[in-house]
Amino acid sequence: MTTDTRETIMAVARKMVQTRGYNGLSFRELAKEVGIKSASIHYHFPTKGDLGSALARRYTEDGLAYLSGLRADSDDPQRWIKGYTEIFRMALLNDNRMCLCGIMAAEYDDLPPEVRVEVDAFTDVNVQWLSEVLSTCRPELGADQSQQQALAIYAAVEGAQLVARGRGDLGVFDATIEAYRVAGLLP
């Protein structure tokens, strides 16, 4: 079993960013956890922006793989949406963590351009997938309307996670998602 240092750095850093944000990520603290010196991090990721960018890209890839799997494993759009909100729920369940790109979105103005691009790409992937799901279960919607409501769903779910994480109460997240569903925002 070879433990790739680069992969270890990414795994540890992802957790740190999901709890403390991009600005809260410290190379020295990260290095200590990985078991190398902080200067060594720069060998694998020349700048903090390179690391942040790699984290966001990987996060988006993993998320897209999961979302594609959801649609492959079932024909029920209701289950797809349930699976979607489950991602955000799981982050909270895991040490009250946030969506990597959700927490970074709040730091948008402080983000290096290469990280911003990846945060934007994550949003695009989410909106695209939700938009496809909406087209399936509400075929009367036009492409623009689907896109529009997809963005609203994404924003609402990110907001639910943000608020629930502050409350430190998973029940708040569940109840908020339920309120969205009852209102008809979620299919």
Partner DNA sequence: ACCTGAACACCGTTCAAGT
Which lies closer to DNA via its Cβ, residue 49 or residue 187? Answer: 49
Mask for 37-76, x = binds DNA (CB under 7 A): xxxx-xxx-xxxx---------------------------
Q: Please pick, from the candidates 5, 96, 128, 145, the single residue that binds DNA as defined by CB under 7 A.
A: 5
Task: Decide: residue 140, CB within 10 A, 0-12 exposed, 13-18 middle, 19+ buried.
Answer: exposed
Task: Decide: residue 90, CB within 10 A, 0-12 exposed, 13-18 middle, 19+ buried.
Answer: exposed
Which of the listed partners (DNA, its own copies, none) does 39 bind, with a CB threshold of 5 to 8 Å by partner kind? DNA
Q: Residue 94 interacts with its own copies (CB under 8 A)?
A: no
Mask for 11-30, x = binds DNA (CB under 7 A): --------------xxxxx-
Which lies closer to DNA via its Cβ, residue 5 or residue 96? Answer: 5
Interacting residues with DNA (CB under 7 A): 5, 25-29, 36-40, 42-44, 46-49
